[in-house]
Amino acid sequence: MPKQAVILVGGLGSRLGERTRFLPKPMLEIAGRPFLDYVLDELARYPSIEEILLLAGYRAQQVAEAYHDRKRRGASISVVAEPAPYGTGGALKYASSMLRERFFLLNGDSFFDFNLLDLALQAKGSSALVHMALKRDQPGDRYGRLVLDGRKVVKFLAAGSRPSGPINAGVYCVDRRVIDSIEEMPCSLEQTVFPRLAAKGQLEAVPYDSFFIDIGVPADFERAQEELLERLRRPAVFFDRDGVLNVDKAYVHRIQDFEWVPGAREAIKLCNDLGYYAFVVTNQAGVARGYYGIDDVHRLHDWMSAELAAIGAHIDDFQYCPYHEDGTVEAYRRASDRRKPAPGMIVDCLEAWPVRIEGSLLVGDNNRDIVAADAAGIPGHLFGEGDLAAFLRPLLVDRASSG
């Protein structure tokens, strides 16, 4: 699974007129924050992404001052400034020494709310050098369209040629060997490189139905002011851990003792694909009782994240409570409002993330989970045995089809 994401932030933004006279387009404010912040926040949801490169051009110094050598959750951010306008392909070639073998590539002026890891999963084992995410059906005359043969891109249609159909959403999973296709500077990925790859059968695409918006023209820039924050309010599924995601063998803390419940990883991917946040809220009294330490909890959760990434899934946030009033470790021997049946871990997620209460739910395996959910104002569902994905699927609503 790619550990690097690269964002193109070098365009002039000339269609936005005076708005970009003194500010690069991705740094224009949407609902009080730079648009680029929303793109970075979305990438930071994925624990597998360790590094983010911003390829800057126009007013690159402003991008560097705001983002270089910063972090978003577990991902480090670096800014690479091109010395001249090289185009989207040229910017990539200029930064080639910093690119990993496989990476995600995104346009910094668009936002596509889909499961990024699913794109990498679809690219796995393919000989194509670039896999692009498509918005399956985006109306509007200003978009070019793509013609597919299965997943192979066979033709690009000019803007205005069709009123609807799939469009390039500006998100790609890229093999570093694509650099060999960039022969001249400046160079455009969209106009030069991608048609070359398509002619060789090395460009594939995967359609998604998720929310898409770019801020390249005034009308969509204003639409983003109204719609983006609302779309970022997602419902969430809160998973208890032991007994729901893994077989409860009492105080599981070693990787060799961890056994996934059937359908557990698939249930988390289902949440990701349907646009839900996925959170883990787990009591870990074994820390207070001295059976294992905090580092063991983190190590196991990091391993779980790697296991999930392998099937295109991720957990947005792991919340755990190490406290117990009967603990033997002094630092953790106390009552806590984060320990279920108290709702503290759920409440902390609701405060830290833009969660939509409507549609959110918890899946637990005992009554204290249900009590905690009720206290936090969300429904709780008891899971006993069987396939967790099959249990969860009828409880969720496809957010793309529901608008």
With residue 93 as reference, give the H or E element that holds it: helix 87-94
pLDDT recorded at residue 397 = 84
Distance of alpha carbon 376 from alpha carbon 362, whole angstroms:
10
Two tokens, residue 392? 């969860």
**Global confidence as pTM:** 0.95
Burial grade of 40 (CB within 10 A; 0-12, 13-18, 19 or more) = buried
Rounded to whole angstroms, the maximal C-alpha distance in the chain is: 71
Q: How far apart are CA 44 and CA 73, in angstroms?
A: 6
Q: Which of 176, 201, 232 is the last residue of a domain?
A: 232
Q: What is the pLDDT of residue 364?
A: 98
Mean pLDDT by 10 residues, the chain (403 residues): 96 92 96 97 96 97 98 96 96 97 97 97 95 90 90 92 88 97 94 96 96 94 95 97 97 98 98 98 98 98 98 98 97 98 98 97 98 98 97 84 49
What's the CA gap between 238 and 373, in Å, rounded? 9
CATH number at residue 372: 3.40.50.1000
Whether 240 is a known active-site residue: answer yes
Does 166 share its domain with 245?
no
With 0-12 CB in 10 A as exposed, 13-18 as middle and 19+ as buried, what is 384? exposed
Contact predicate 189/89, CB 8 Å: yes
Number of domains present in the structure of the chain: 2
pLDDT of residue 3: 97
Q: What is the pLDDT, as a whole number, of residue 400?
A: 53
Residue 263 has phi, psi (to 5 degrees) of 80, 5
CATH number of the structural domain spanning residue 127: 3.90.550.10
> Looking at 240, 316, 317, 369, which residue is catalytic?
240
The DSSP symbol for 242 reads B
Domain boundary among 232, 267, 300: 232
Question: What's residue 163's pLDDT?
Answer: 77
Q: Cβ–Cβ contacts within 10 Å for residue 26, how many?
A: 28
180 is catalytic: no
**From the candidates 220, 242, 317, 369, which is the catalytic residue?**
242
Report whether 349 contacts 281 (CB < 8 A): yes
Are 65 and 149 in the same domain?
yes
Domain range for 397 is 236-402
213 lies in the same domain as 65: yes
pLDDT of residue 398: 66
